[in-house]
Amino acid sequence: MKPGNQVPPGGRREARFEREPARRVFAVELREARHQFRDGTEEKSPTYVMLPTGQRANRVFVVGTMTEKQKQGEQHSFYRVRVVDPTGTTFISAGNYQPEAMQQIARIEPPAFVAVVGKPNVFEAPDGGGVYVSLRAESVTVVDRETRDLWILDASRVTLDRIDAFGTTEDSKRAAEEYRIDPALFRRAVTDALAQIEL
């Protein structure tokens, strides 16, 4: 199964009911995301997280190893999942409003390679422990090592593309104001990730 088969194609803005494209992003970058905003004033206007490399993300596509899952609650149960890629950990959640993702997670026994498509959300820890990003899963699918490695290649390519374009697009200029992070710092993460795949 190839990564391209995991991701709905996403659509143009004028196609009102088509889904936003799912951005491939490493955990190390997603972990640094802090700026969340709504594009428009209508109730159903899309919400985005601005990636530090300068691209807005309404949906995200990650592949890694599910190392842990926890089911919490009874009547209003939900899953919390850890997915680890070569750069770090992404936290995944799925509740009653994501029944398909919940059923998929229930059938998976860690450790397993998984492909996850979900919506990023920025949260502030109630105990003052800082800000973190979690993905609300739309789909969670078991994949093989080859798919994981192909995703690393794709995520590396698009991350480098975002870094190279930084400062030349409206979103990347906005990211520069919000984060004050040199996006070149993520080049090292790409190098480290590529070193872990079997070509």
pLDDT digits (tens, 9 = 90+) for 160-173: 999 999 999 999 99
Can you give the pTM of this predicted structure? 0.86
In a domain, 199, yes or no: no
**Number of domains within the chain:** 1
Per-residue model confidence as pLDDT tens digits over 78-113: 999 999 999 999 999 999 899 999 999 999 999 999
In a domain, 68, yes or no: yes
Q: What are phi and psi of 135, to 5 degrees?
A: -100, 130
> E-strand spans in the chain?
22-24, 36-38, 47-50, 56-57, 59-72, 78-85, 88-94, 112-124, 131-142
Among the residues of 98-168, which ranges form H helices? 99-106, 145-165
- Whether 104 and 139 have beta carbons less than 8 Å apart is answered as yes
In a domain, 2, yes or no: no
Position 130 confidence tier, pLDDT thresholds 50, 70, 90 = confident
Asked if pLDDT for residue 199 goes beyond 90, the answer is no
Q: Which domain covers residue 154, as residue numbers?
A: 12-193
More confident residue, 3 or 198: 198
Per-residue model confidence as pLDDT tens digits over 13-56: 444 446 789 999 999 999 999 999 988 777 778 899 999 999 99
In a domain, 5, yes or no: no
In a domain, 3, yes or no: no
In a domain, 65, yes or no: yes
